[in-house]
Amino acid sequence: MTDSSKNLFQLAQAGKYAIPAFNVHNLEITKAVLETAQEMQSPVLLAATPGTVKYMGEEFLIGMMKAARKKYTIPFEVHLDHHENVADIKRMIDMGVGSVMIDASHHPFEENMKIVKEVVDYAHPKGVLVEAELGRLSGIEDDMSVDEKDAIYTNPDQAKEFVERTGIDTLAVAIGTAHGLYKGEPKLDLERLQEIRAVVDIPLVLHGASGIPDALVHETIRLGICKVNVATELKNAFVAGLRVYLSAHPEENDPRKYFSEAITDLKRVVADKITMCQSAQKA
C-alpha cells in the first residue's frame, strides 16, 4: 500500500472508524462501489479474491484501477483478498496492486509466519501494505471452504508474536465471524478482541461482516477493528436486483438495461455498509 493508504489506516485507527473493503467481481460492481464511496466521501478498498482475479484478468483489474484514479478523488486501493500464492502476489505487486492479504492461516504457526514474512519483505520496500490472518474463519468464500468445526479463534499471545516477527501492517482476526451468511444470531468473542488489542497495536481486520448487525460492528470498531470486509451481502443485493428486473422484463437482452436494478440495489447496500463503518466524510 502506498504511504498515503497507510496513512488512511492510521487515520481510521485514530478516528475510530473502519475502512470498508468490498469484494468486486466486474466493471458494474466496481463502478457502483466507487461511485457510492465518492458520493459519500468515504475511503474504500476494492477486494479481489484469487477467483475474481482469474475471472477478471489481472490486466483488466489493474487497468480498471488506473482508469478509476483519473475519475474518482477519494482514497482507494485494489486489495488482494485471501491470496495464498506468493508468486502471484509478487507479480501483482509489480503490476501496481497497492494492498495485499497473504492468507497462510491454514498452515501451522511457524510456517504461516515464514510465508507472511516473505511477502512483507517483498512488499514493504515497494510501499505495499500487507494483511495476514491468524486463526481460521469458517464459511465459504470462492474456492475456500472451512467447516465450522475447523474454525480456530485467534490466540492473543500468538497474535503479538505473529505481528512482531512478520512486520505486517494489518491483522485479520478470527473472533467468531464467518464468510457467508449466518444461520443463527452471530456471536462474537469481544473479550478476545479486547485481549488482542491490548497486545497488538496495528489496525485489526474483521472478515465475514455480511449479516453482522451494525451495532455489533460498531462495538468491534470501538475495540480496534479498522477494516471491515463485506462480500456476500453485495452479491445477494446484485443478484436480487437482477432477478426482479428480469422477471418484470423477461424479453430484455440489453445488459445496460437489465443490470440497472442490480446496480441500484447494490449501491444501497454499499451505502449502508459505509454508514456502518462510520467512514463517510473521511475521504
Q: What's the rounded Cα separation, in Å, for the pair 200 and 194?
A: 10
Query: 166: closest CA among 194, 207, 131?
Result: 131
Q: Max Cα separation, the chain?
A: 59
Q: Is 44 in the site for ligand 13P (CB under 6 A)?
A: no
Under the binding rule (CB under 6 A), the answer on residue 23 touching ligand 13P is: yes
- What does R_g of the chain's alpha carbons equal in angstroms? 18
**Residue 50 CB partners (closer than 8 Å, separation 6+):** 82, 83, 84, 85, 88, 142, 143
Applying CB under 6 A, the span of 54-62, 125-133, 204-212, 245-253 interacting with ligand 13P comes to 204-212
Beta strand extents in 49-117 (DSSP E only): 76-83, 99-102
Q: Does 210 bind ligand 13P (CB under 6 A)?
A: yes
Q: Which of 36, 138, 232, 279 binds ligand 13P (CB under 6 A)?
A: 232
Residue of 79, 179, 227, 267 that binds ligand 13P (CB under 6 A): 179
The answer to whether residue 131 forms part of the interface with ligand 13P (CB under 6 A) is: no
Binding mask 57-96 for ligand 13P (x = CB under 6 A): ------------------------xx--------------
User: Is 214 among the catalytic positions?
Assistant: no
* Closest CB to ligand 13P among residues 146, 262: 146
For 116-138, the DSSP string reads: HHHHHHHHGGGT-EEEEEESB-E
In the complex with ligand 13P, the residue whose CB is nearer, 210 or 279, is: 210
| Other C-beta atoms lying within 10 Å of the C-beta of residue 213 | 11
List of residues contacting ligand 13P (CB under 6 A) = 23, 81-82, 141, 179-180, 207-210, 229-232
